[in-house]
Structure formats: C-alpha cells, structure tokens
Amino acid sequence: MSTSTQSLQTKTKTDAPRVYDNYINGRWVKAENGETFTSTNPANEKEVIGHFASSTVNDVKKAIDAAEEALKTWRKVPAPHRAEILYKVAHLLETRKEEMARNMVREMGKVIKEARGDVQEAIDMAKFMAGEGRRLMGSTVPSELPNKFAMSVRAPIGVVGLITPWNFPVAIPSWKIFPALVAGNTVVFKPATDTPLCAVMLVEVLVEAGLPAGVLNLVTGEGSKVGQAIVDDPRVRAISITGSTAVGKKVAGRCGELMKRISCELGGKNAICIMEDADIELAVEGAVWGGFGTAGQRCTAASRVIVHKDRYKEFTEKFVARAKALKLGDGLDPDVQVGPVVSKAQLHSVHEYVEIGEKEGATLLCGGKIVKDNGMENGWFHEPTIFGDVKPSMRIAQEEIFGPVVSVIKVSDFEEAIEVANGTEYGLSLSMYTKDVNRAFAAIEELESGIVYINAPTIGAEIQLPFGGVKQTGNGHREAGTTAIDQFTEWKSVYVDYSGRLQRAQIDNHPAQKQDESKIAP
Ligand code: NAD
C-alpha cells in the first residue's frame, strides 16, 4: 500500500474560491462528469467557500472498489499500528485547529468558540480511539468442559459507509471514521452538501497522517444520489448515518432489505425540566446555552423548557431578558453569541415554525423575526425566539425545529414534568434542574432518553461516554466511548479444545448427565 503524497487541497483557503475534488484510492480526483456544486457562507451568501465534486453513482462505485481492495491489507495491520495513525491525526488536528475552526465558521455559521470546540471533539476522539487500538477488548470465559479454552474476539466488518450531517461537520465524521479505522474497516465517507470543505479538511489530515491509499475515500454530492448509492451497494457491509429521522428511516429500511448493519443517530426534541427548588440563575444560563448554542441547530438542543408553575414567571422573565441581549451576527466576530442558520431553506423552515407557534396560540415572548439589517443583509439570520404558554401537544413542542426557537411549558409537579419531557417521539437528551438528590435520581431513572443531565443543559456530551438516543432518535447503537467500537466490529466466538478427544457441550461432563449415565452404567 502506498501513502498519498499529494499536496493539501485547502492550503490556499483564503484565495479565490477553488474546486475541491473527491479523494479516491489515495488520489484527489474530479467527479467523472466534471460537475460541481457550490458551498457558500451562511453569514454572507455572496461569499463562495468553494466548488465541490457533484459525484455520480460510478464515482461511488470506484470508491467502494478502492475500499474493497485496501481492506485486504488494512484489516491485517495490527490494531496498535492502525492506532498510531490516529495519534498523528490528533497532533495534526491540534496544529490545524484554528484554521479548520475558522473555515468551519465560514462554511456553516457556528460561532468561532463553538467551531474550535467542534475540532477539539475530533482531537479528543482521535486520542481516545487511538487508545482503543491497544484494547479492542473481547472476553475470555471458562469453558464448561476440561481442557477447552473459550474467548470472543472482534473482527472488522469490512467496507463501511459513513454518512454525516452539517451541524458538527468535523466532530461527527470523526466519531465514525476513527473507530471504523482503528477496528480495521475501510471507509467510504459522504458528508452533507452544506459542509464539504470541513470534510475535505478532515480527510487531508488523515492523508497527511499516513493513511494508506483506499482505506478512506471521500465522495461528495447529494444524499439521494451519492448516499443512496453507498447504501445500495452490497459490498458496503455497514452504514452509519447521522441525520434527520425521515432520512434515517429510509436508509434503515433499505439496509434491512439488504441485511446490512445500520446505525442511526437521528432527530431530537430535547427538554430541560426546572423544578421549584432549582437554582434559577443556573437554569437560565443552561436554557440560553442549550436553546441558542449553535443557533439551536444541535441534535441535543434544548428546544423545550418545562418549568414548575411556582417558578414559571421568574424563570421566563429572566430567560427572555437573556435571550434579547444575545448578540447575533457573523460567527467570526468573537463577541457574537448566535450565528446564522445553515441555509436559506433552513431559515424558512425555522420561521415557518414561528408562524405555526403563533397560529397554535402560544405567546411569542421575544424574537420571531428573520433579520436582514446591521450587516446581516446577505445571511440567514433568525432572532433568538421564545414562546410561552406552550401546550405539550402543540407542533412547536413536538417537532424538531432545528433553529433558535424555544418553547416554555408550565407544569404542576415533578411527575407532570417527567410525563411532558417523555411525551415526544424522540429520546436523545433530557435534563433536570433540582437540588433534591432523591428527585435527581428519580429523574435519571424515569427520563426516556439516551443522555440525561442533572443541573446542566441538554448539550455538552463528552466523547468518553456513549452518545445516542432511544425511540425515533436511534436504533439501539451508540457512538463515542468504547461502545462506538461495537458499531464497527463483528464478534467472533472462538473455542480451542486441547483435550485431544471429542467433547460435547451441554452433554459430556454435565453433572445431571453424569448422574443419569451412572444409573445406566453396568
Ligand atoms: P439529513 O437527514 O438531511 O442528511 C443527513 C445526511 O444524509 C446528509 O449527508 C445527506 O446528504 C444524506 N442523505 C440524504 N438522503 C439520503 C439518502 N436517500 N440516502 C443516503 N443518504 C442520504 O440531515 P441534516 O439536515 O444534514 O442534519 C440535521 C439532522 O441531523 C437533524 O435532524 C439532527 O437532529 C440530526 N442530527 C442527529 C444527531 C444525533 O446524534 N442524534 C447529531 C447531529 C444531527
């Protein structure tokens, strides 16, 4: 296997917009039809970030060919050696962190501090998964038979297809690519069309770290064409997708037909619950960060706040005051706290929910408008928006909005808070603010979600614990932590019999069996 020595694609990032290629079999190559699509800055649509390969089904086929060929040798590289590449990746990401974060702000709009956090998450994940290269643990168990050894080992699945969204454009791909690689799989990676530059930058880092040709292949383009072609190809043995529940269900259905492994990380309708004994200042701070961080475009965003009736007025007044004071603007300005939403389509979808909320009879407490002044004329900005008097059944309290819109719901007691928090089709992240340790533990038990926070908002996961959700959010898999390895490995159970004779499990050497045999023995 050879290592690509081609120069980095993004070195000229500040020059005129340029064309970025796919990365297939160790080479940067154009889509076979030569077509491209354009990525623009959501803070200023006139700024073109770059032009990216609008790939065809045949480009996908070439990427899978390369991954299939590379698998033959990559799966045999000892895992600790595969891991060495990830240590280099961590180091290179640290070196390029600021440049990558700034490009991320330009490409998808999150504010610079959060963009740095996004890259940092990939750094953390690279180090963690590199460590897994020296573990990849199975189990050894005693055999019921003498002179027999029983153990389980992990094997790579094969070629895996990784399909990612735009909201964590470096972190989420890293959650999938790093465990897949350390476990010995080869990868075909399709990022969201809103964030192809972030994907190119991440792939460049892996190439620079010395990943052999064909082990990781990047194919950019539309989900319905490129993503679908990856899912449809029987040689791709597993798909890991993060995205909307609608797309995830479609992909999972197809994978079911093809009997391929599918792990889905999908939508959320997360909630912060605030009880009558809560520290309200702390809860307000959490609600602001949870609701408006990344302009509400986190799968874990706190788009509902469920407040005990005794503290509703106090909380709502403080929350609204804080939301009104948030500075909206271009995320490259270090004083800006809320950036634009990712695209024009997203802006209109968010605003439609504001109109729905008003029609449903919720009280608009602040915000509610698209912003087109103060240097924001050419971007996709929406005011941080809070609705009060929201009923749990309203669409704004049930559907994922994925923008800076928060619904505040009044409840009478702890039990009702839990019922409302659990009362959506999603189950990603739920939180409880209380000073009562008994209630905190009751909440941990009763909240139906993959992630629970106590006295902290619904966002802020760390990479060393499993990440994912229940109900319509996921299908039982988890990213991050050591559990991520389960997504990308097959179990192989191994029995080594060194007795030199046939030993029958469940039959020979069984206490009850021995008794029976002694009865019939002469
Ligand atoms: P999306 O569903 O529109 O797209 C996700 C990815 O799937 C993209 O790369 C897209 O091109 C691809 N895709 C689309 N159609 C496809 C098809 N038919 N076959 C294969 N691939 C296809 O989602 P998005 O707008 O990019 O991201 C936002 C969504 O992601 C939100 O719903 C959010 O909650 C969710 N999300 C979930 C998590 C989580 O961990 N649970 C994390 C981040 C984002």
Q: Order the strands of the 186-190 sheet from edge to edge.
A: 27-29, 22-24, 216-218, 186-190, 159-163, 236-242, 261-265
- In angstroms, rounded to a whole number, what is the distance separating the alpha carbons of residues 349 and 236? 34
Alpha carbon of 165 to ligand 1 centroid (Å): 5
Return the pLDDT at 7: 40
- In the chain, DSSP finds a helix count (H) and a strand count (E) of 15, 24
Residue 501 lies in a domain: no
- In angstroms, rounded to a whole number, what is the distance separating the alpha carbons of residues 445 and 64? 44
* 385 and 342, same domain (yes or no): yes
Ligand 1 closest atom vs CA 190: 9
* 361 and 329, same domain (yes or no): yes
Residue 411 lies in a domain: yes
Residue 388 lies in a domain: yes
Which residues, 6 or more positions from 116, have their beta carbon under 8 angstroms from its beta carbon?
97, 98, 101
Return the pLDDT at 17: 82
Return the pLDDT at 16: 73
pTM over 0.75: yes
Residue 520 lies in a domain: no
pLDDT tens-digit series, residues 268-297: 999 999 999 999 999 999 999 999 999 999
Ligand 1 closest atom vs CA 250: 18
Residue 7 lies in a domain: no
Residue 6 lies in a domain: no
The answer to whether the Cα torsion of 433, 436, 437, 443 is positive or negative is: negative
- Which domain does 162 fall in, by range? 18-266+476-489
Residue 519 lies in a domain: no
- Burial zone of 466 (CB within 10 Å; 0-12 exposed, 13-18 middle, 19+ buried): middle
CA nearest ligand 1 atom 43, residue: 299
Ligand 1 closest atom vs CA 163: 9
Return the pLDDT at 10: 55
CA nearest ligand 1 atom 30, residue: 243
* 173 and 290, same domain (yes or no): no
* 237 and 203, same domain (yes or no): yes
CATH code of the domain in which 444 resides: 3.40.309.10
The candidate with the shortest Cα–Cα distance to 188, out of 251, 118, 237, 260, is 237
The one-letter code for the residue type at 148 is K
CA distances from 292 to 25, 166, 182, 289, 300 (A): 41, 17, 35, 6, 11
* 256 and 344, same domain (yes or no): no
pLDDT tens-digit series, residues 365-407: 999 999 999 999 999 999 999 999 999 999 999 999 999 999 9
Return the pLDDT at 368: 98
Return the pLDDT at 512: 64
Cβ density class 333-342: b for 16+ within 10 Å, e for less: eeebbbbbbb
* 289 and 430, same domain (yes or no): yes
Alpha carbon of 281 to ligand 1 centroid (Å): 35
Give the pocket of ligand 1 (CB within 6 Å). 163-168, 172, 190, 192-193, 223-224, 227-228, 231, 241-244, 247, 250-251, 265-268, 299, 400, 402, 428, 469, 473
* 109 and 227, same domain (yes or no): yes
Alpha carbon of 242 to ligand 1 centroid (Å): 5
Return the pLDDT at 511: 66
Ligand 1 closest atom vs CA 473: 41
State which of 125, 249, 294, 299 you would mutate to test the pocket of ligand 1, scoring each by most atoms of that ligand within 8 A of its C-beta.
Answer: 299
* 324 and 387, same domain (yes or no): yes
Residue 215 lies in a domain: yes
Question: Of the listed 114, 132, 208, 265, which one is catalytic?
Answer: 265
* 45 a catalytic residue: no
Task: Return the bridge partners of 453, or none.
Answer: 431
In the chain, how many domains are there? 2
Ligand 1 closest atom vs CA 243: 30
* 50 and 77, same domain (yes or no): yes
State which of 242, 260, 424 you would mutate to test the pocket of ligand 1, scoring each by most atoms of that ligand within 8 A of its C-beta.
Answer: 242
* 336 and 202, same domain (yes or no): no
CB 213 within 8 A of CB 25: yes
* 416 a catalytic residue: no
* 483 and 379, same domain (yes or no): no
CB 481 within 8 A of CB 178: no
- The parts of the chain modelled with pLDDT lower than 70 are 1-15, 511-522
Question: Which residue reads 């002044």 in tokens?
Answer: 373
Residue 382, SS3 per DSSP: strand
CATH code of the domain in which 181 resides: 3.40.605.10
CA nearest ligand 1 atom 15, residue: 223
The candidate with the shortest Cα–Cα distance to 492, out of 180, 153, 135, 141, is 153
Alpha carbon of 133 to ligand 1 centroid (Å): 29
* 431 and 460, same domain (yes or no): yes
Alpha carbon of 68 to ligand 1 centroid (Å): 25
